[in-house]
Chain A
Amino acid sequence: MKVILDELRCDAHGVCVTACPEVFALDDTDDIVRVLVQEPEESLRDKLSKAAQACPKAAIKVED
């Protein structure tokens, strides 16, 4: 499972961080979200797809 972030779309809202803090991180000085793990464990699939769904910019894709 792979996380693909469209950096041009991301506006650092951080909704994904709330949904899946294992994979995404953001602090006040960041202009785009940081992807902590490119290929997260299978157990995070649910949380990750929630993050992708919640992102208001549709900036996150999850690929197998």
Chain B
Amino acid sequence: MTTTEHTAVEWPAWEDSAFYNQDPEVIYASIAAQRHAAPVYWYEPPGYPTGFWVLSKYEHQRFVASHPELFSSQYGFAIGDASDPSTVMHQLPEWAKAKILEGGLSPAETRRTIAHGKLSMGDPAFESLMISDPPRHGQIRNIMMKSLRPSLVRAQKPRIAEITEEFLGRIEPGVEVDFVTTIGQIPAALMTELIGVPRNMRERFIDMASAQMLAITINPDMDPDEAARIKARAAEFHDYCGQLLADRNAGGADGDDLVSCIARSEHDGGPVPLGMAISFIHTFVNAGETTRSLLSLIMLHLAQHPEQRRLLGERRELISNAVEETLRFSQLNWSGCRTATQDVEVGGKLIKQGDYIVMAYASGNRDEDVWERPDEYDITRKFDSDHQGFGYGEHSCPGALLARTDSVTILEHVVARFPDWELAGPAVRWSNPFIQGMGSLPVKFSR
């Protein structure tokens, strides 16, 4: 009898949370197998009304993301948006349900209704960057970017340093702490200041906002009670944001905080609609959460690679590169989606008008045509091309600079004070098909 070491690697179940909760090595091996054999692949998930294209090559992802006229963002932004509507109805507001039940929607329109419905927190006037195309996308984005101007973001450094020192002051070396709920809170705390949330509302605000984060993740496996609870908290978040904006309007909005910038801005010749304002606030909150995950992953990887941790302690100028390498190595949002506006060929396959396309960023970040030794974590890696960590083109992450500035500044202070640490227990990662993060990371800093 002959045995072979190579059992066939199973291809990814792109729509299934369970796939993403496996050991990262298993996930990446599976993703690589598909990339090698079928870089542009028509995948039909069980239970889904139609399939979608999975684009695994960096080059194809870049092509799609830089041609919004060929690949629209209006018809869904996550894999779950393509679910069979009957399985996600309980996560949608009444108006979206009614629209779907009326019938007659194309698959693309159905996806749009699901995406729009879940983002909206019940508000049908809600307009989001994530599901808009140029030129509208640019108009919306510019309002938000007023409070994310690079000069403003860079001017945050002293404040980031101050708040980091405050948090670090509470850490005792030699004692186990959960990084996620201690230092990991810094980005969200900073974010509430940038949004303009009063200090005494900080914790509550973060709490409501994370419910909102969960609410936008359409997931047929979600328990209905849990879904109802999340929906209620998300609605609370919606009301509180409305209150914040009203207060600022009444009090003369002259600050650089997001809510003041929104209050001063115009859209379509009138004030910025609440639904849009909330989508901006939501984007900020999102950035705080993902930066927490990013920082946690850096701490995890460096704990697992002691020689690189030591190197970082000696060469602090590598911190920013370590942030980039972590973004490449551990993609936080697994993929991004588009819908073809016309028939178009990609990698020798004919993509038909209306087809849904999944850019598998995690795969692009390990594409051997772009990266040498793609499966190695190396904080000294040279980046001739940008990784897919923040996406590419119009829809690339508007908070990228802030996330980078936050992470680098926070890490500089952490490493300066505590150059050495180790894992004190198992790291807990969570993931759904859209995004992953860290639930817990017990660490011990050395004395």
**A interface, CB within 8 angstroms of B:** 8-9, 11-13, 15, 19, 28-32, 50, 53-58
Q: Judging by beta carbons under 8 Å apart, are A57 and B150 in contact?
A: no
Contact of B154 with A by CB under 8 A: yes
Contact of B171 with A by CB under 8 A: no
Chain A proximity of B69: nearest CB distance (Å) = 13
Q: How long is the Cα–Cα vector from A28 to B43 in the complex, in angstroms?
A: 45
**B interface, CB within 8 angstroms of A:** 65-66, 138, 142, 145, 149-151, 154-155, 383-386, 390-394, 396, 398, 400-401
Q: Judging by beta carbons under 8 Å apart, are B392 and A29 in contact?
A: no
- A12-B401, A28-B155, A31-B149 are known contacts. Are A58 and B386 too (CB-CB below 8 A)? no
Q: How long is the Cα–Cα vector from A28 to B157 in the complex, in angstroms?
A: 11
Closest to B388 in A: A56
Closest to A50 in B: B384
A32-B150, A54-B384, A58-B66 given; 15 more Cβ-contact pairs under 8 Å: A8-B138, A9-B394, A11-B401, A15-B386, A29-B154, A31-B150, A50-B384, A53-B384, A53-B385, A56-B386, A56-B390, A56-B391, A57-B392, A57-B393, A58-B392
B150 is contacted by which of A9, A12, A15 (Cβ under 8 Å)?
A12
Q: How long is the Cα–Cα vector from A28 to B150 in the complex, in angstroms?
A: 8
Closest to B135 in A: A8
Q: Judging by beta carbons under 8 Å apart, are A56 and B400 in contact?
A: yes
Q: Judging by beta carbons under 8 Å apart, are A56 and B150 in contact?
A: no
Chain B proximity of A59: nearest CB distance (Å) = 9
- A53-B385, A58-B66 are known contacts. Are A28 and B400 too (CB-CB below 8 A)? no
Q: List 8 A-B contacts (CB under 8 A).
A: A11-B398, A32-B150, A53-B384, A54-B385, A56-B392, A56-B396, A57-B393, A58-B65
Q: Which residues of A have CB within 8 Å of B65?
A: 58
Q: How long is the Cα–Cα vector from A31 to B151 in the complex, in angstroms?
A: 6
Q: Judging by beta carbons under 8 Å apart, are A28 and B394 in contact?
A: no
Q: Which residues of B have CB within 8 Å of A29?
A: 151, 154
Q: Which residues of A have CB within 8 Å of B390?
A: 56
Q: Which residues of A have CB within 8 Å of B149?
A: 31
- A11-B398, A28-B155 are known contacts. Are A54 and B150 too (CB-CB below 8 A)? no
Chain A proximity of B313: nearest CB distance (Å) = 24
Closest to B145 in A: A11
Chain A proximity of B65: nearest CB distance (Å) = 8
Q: How long is the Cα–Cα vector from A58 to B393 in the complex, in angstroms?
A: 5
The 3 closest A-B pairs by CB, nearest first: A12-B150, A58-B66, A28-B154
Q: Which residues of A have CB within 8 Å of B138?
A: 8
Q: How long is the Cα–Cα vector from A43 to B390 in the complex, in angstroms?
A: 31
Q: Which residues of B have CB within 8 Å of A32?
A: 150
- A54-B386, A56-B392, A58-B392 are known contacts. Are A28 and B151 too (CB-CB below 8 A)? yes
Q: How long is the Cα–Cα vector from A12 to B149 in the complex, in angstroms?
A: 9
Q: Which residues of B have CB within 8 Å of A13?
A: 400-401
Q: Which residues of A have CB within 8 Å of B393?
A: 57-58
Chain A proximity of B186: nearest CB distance (Å) = 21
Q: Which residues of B have CB within 8 Å of A58?
A: 65-66, 392-393
Q: How long is the Cα–Cα vector from A12 to B401 in the complex, in angstroms?
A: 8
Chain A proximity of B275: nearest CB distance (Å) = 24
